[in-house]
Amino acid sequence: MSRRNTAKKREIKTDPIYNSKLITMLTVRVLKNGKKNLAQKIIYKALEIIKEKTQNDPLEILEKAIRNATPLVEVKARRIGGSTYQVPMEVRAYRGTNLALKWISKFASSRNGNNMSLKLANEIIDSSKESGQTIRKKEETHRMAEANKAFAHYRY
């Protein structure tokens, strides 16, 4: 962390087709080896699959999935007097969205099957229905924060 000044937030550009910042953020999470074009193709194909399966607007389903997967609290390690405590902290909106997107892309890639766009579509649909690995991760994070509520007074 720099002692001189803080890093400035970069402006996120919207994607060319849906004109959404969320899709651009998801593209960065799916991105591998700098192949942004391939990542965008995967995401657009996944959104088409979502549209076919649910007969609804895929952007609304993606937003609902992210809203369902966004954690409200998380635990951070804090070292006090030689011992480390897991201190529950509230998650700011931007970080919560980033965590949700990270979990969705991570658990989509870990699903079995060989088509990434299909796996991503299924994970997004599951998250919008409040099931799947992403929601389980969110609930696990909340449980950890609840279990360590006694150390909440160590917040910084």
Please check whether residue 143 lies inside any domain of the structure.
Answer: yes
Please check whether residue 7 lies inside any domain of the structure.
Answer: no
| Amino acid type, 152 | A
Please check whether residue 13 lies inside any domain of the structure.
Answer: no
Please check whether residue 3 lies inside any domain of the structure.
Answer: no
> What integer pLDDT is reported at residue 4 of this predicted model?
87
Q: At what angle do helices 93-110 and 133-147 cross, to 10 degrees?
A: 130
In our burial notation (b when 16+ CB lie closer than 10 A, e otherwise), range 76-107 reads eeeeeeeeebbbbbebeeeebbbbbbbbbbeb
| Amino acid type, 27 | T
Nearest to 16 by CA among 36, 34, 46, 32: 36
Mean local confidence (pLDDT), 103-114: 93
Please check whether residue 4 lies inside any domain of the structure.
Answer: no
Task: Tell me what percent of the residues of the chain surpass a pLDDT of 90.
Answer: 85
> What integer pLDDT is reported at residue 1 of this predicted model?
61
Specify whether the backbone of 136 is left (phi greater than 0), alpha (psi in -120 to 50) or beta. Answer: alpha
Please check whether residue 1 lies inside any domain of the structure.
Answer: no
More confident residue, 156 or 131: 131
> What integer pLDDT is reported at residue 3 of this predicted model?
84
pLDDT-based confidence at residue 113 (cuts at 50, 70, 90): confident
Please check whether residue 119 lies inside any domain of the structure.
Answer: yes
Both structure tokens of 79: 């070292």
| pTM over 0.75, yes/no | yes
Mean local confidence (pLDDT), 69-75: 96
| Residue 33, domain extent | 21-154
Say yes or no to pLDDT of 117 above 70. Answer: yes
Please check whether residue 142 lies inside any domain of the structure.
Answer: yes
Tally of structural domains, the chain: 1
Return the CATH number at 58: 1.10.455.10
Can you tell me the distance from the alpha carbon of 117 to that of 17, in angstroms, rounded to the nearest whole number?
17
DSSP secondary structure string for all residues of 92-119: PHHHHHHHHHHHHHHHHHHSSSS-HHHH
Say yes or no to pLDDT of 155 above 90. Answer: no
